[in-house]
Amino acid sequence: MQTIEQHITTKGIRVTAMRLLIYKFLAERSNAVTLSDIEKAFDKVDRTTLYRTIKTFEDKGIVHQINEGSTGTKYALCKTNCKCELETDLHLHFHCNNCEETICLTDYKIPKVEVPDGFIAENANLVLKGICNKCS
Amino acid sequence: MQTIEQHITTKGIRVTAMRLLIYKFLAERSNAVTLSDIEKAFDKVDRTTLYRTIKTFEDKGIVHQINEGSTGTKYALCKTNCKCELETDLHLHFHCNNCEETICLTDYKIPKVEVPDGFIAENANLVLKGICNKCS
DNA sequence: AATATACGTGCAACAATAGTGCATTGGACT
DNA sequence: AGTCCAATGCACTATTGTTGCACGTATATT
C-alpha cells in the first residue's frame, strides 16, 4: 500500500501541502466534483491554484475528467494503477438527473465499439444519465 | 418527405424565420456545432435568441447535445424520427483530437451496458476521441 | 552553507460561455 | 382592427476557463 505522498511522487510531480489537500478531498468522495466544489470546500485557496493543480493531476494521470452535460467539467481520482487506456481502464460514469451527482462506476468498463473505416479511437467518455441507487 | 416547416410544426413549435435559418444551418453540416459557431455564421443574430432557439429545439427533440470535453456544448440535428431513446436512437459521437470536429455517427449505436442494481439509465452520451477519417 | 534555479502559489485581469429580466416586435386569432 | 401570446433583441449578471506576473519556497549546484 502506497501512501499518497509516494503515489504523487511516482507520478513525477512534487508533493506540496495543497496537492495533498486536494488529493485527500478527492479521495474522500466517490463522486466526481467540479472545480467550484473544491473551491467551496477550501475557501482559502485560489481558483487558479486549483485549476492548475487539477490540470497537473490530469496530465500525470492522477485524475480523469468527465463531461456530463451540466455546465462545468467534473473530475475524479483515477484508480492507483489506472493508465486511462481505452481497452482496460476506461469505466463508465453515471449522472443522476435527480441529485445531480456524477458517480464513477469503476468496475463497469466501456464496451468495445466499432468505428467506421479511417477513424482511430484512442479514448472514450461514456456517461449514462438517469436515476441513481440513492434516488430510486 | 417532410419539409423543414412541417417537421418543426409536428414537433409542436412555431415556424419562424430564425428557426428555419438555424435548422438549415444545422442540416447543412454533419458535424456538431457550438453556439458560437452558429453565432459567427449569422452575425445579425442575438446570442440569446440562438441560445433559446437551441434550447427549444432540444426540448422538442429536434437537436441533441454532445459534450466532448473541449469547453462548450455542441449540438446536432436529430434524425427525422429520432426519439432520443436509449435502446434505439442513441448513437455515438466521434471527436477528432486533430481537427477538433465532432461527428455524429448515427449508424453506430451505443452498445447496451450493464449498470449496478438500483441505477436506472434513461439516456447516454458516448464520445470517442481520436483521429477522424479526414485527418488519419 | 551560499547561491542560483526551477517550481508552486496567489493576485489581477481577461475571455468565453451561460443565463435572466424586461421591453418591443410580430404573427395568429377573433 | 384589436387582443393576446410567443419570439426576438438588448442590457446586464454569473460562472467557468485561462494567462501573465510577482513573490516565496523548495530543490539543485558549487
User: pLDDT tens for residues A35-85?
Assistant: 999 999 998 899 999 999 999 999 999 999 999 887 789 999 998 778 888
CB pairs under 8 A between A and B: 124
Asked if residue B96 lies in contact with residue B58, where contact means CB atoms within 8 angstroms, the answer is: no
Query: Hey, is the C-beta of A68 within 8 angstroms of any chain B C-beta?
Result: yes
Domain A4-130 classified CATH 2.70.170.10?
no
Whether A120 and B114 lie within 8 Å, measured CB to CB: no
Q: Which pLDDT score, from 0 to 100, does residue B1 have?
A: 62
| CA of B75, C1' of C2: distance in angstroms | 60
In the predicted structure, residue B82 carries a pLDDT above the cut 90: no
* Confidence class for position B130, pLDDT limits 50, 70, 90: very high
pLDDT in tens, B22-60: 999 999 988 999 999 999 998 889 999 999 999 999 999
Q: Which pLDDT score, from 0 to 100, does residue A1 have?
A: 63
- Residue A71 in 3-state DSSP? coil
Q: Which of A97, A125, A133 sits opposite B117 (nearest CB)?
A: A133
In the predicted structure, residue B74 carries a pLDDT above the cut 90: yes
% chain A with pLDDT above 70? 99
| CA of B9, C1' of D22: distance in angstroms | 60
Query: Hey, is the C-beta of A126 within 8 angstroms of any chain B C-beta?
Result: yes
Q: How many CB atoms lie within 10 A of CB A133?
A: 14
In the predicted structure, residue B94 carries a pLDDT above the cut 90: yes
Which set of grid coordinates corresponds to residue B75?
449540438
Beta strands in A24-119 (DSSP E): 31-34, 63-66, 74-77, 91-96, 102-109
- Give me the residue spans of the domains in chain B: 4-130
Q: What is the mean pLDDT of residues A100-129?
A: 92
**CA of B127: which chain A residue's CA is closest?**
A125
| CA of B42, C1' of D19: distance in angstroms | 30
H or E element that contains B39? helix B35-41
To the nearest 10°, report the CA torsion of A81, A83, A86, A92. 60
In the predicted structure, residue A22 carries a pLDDT above the cut 70: yes
**Distance from C-alpha of B98 to C-alpha of B134, rounded to nearest angstrom:** 10
**Distance from C-alpha of A55 to C-alpha of A13, rounded to nearest angstrom:** 12
% chain B with pLDDT above 70? 99
Average pLDDT, chain A: 91
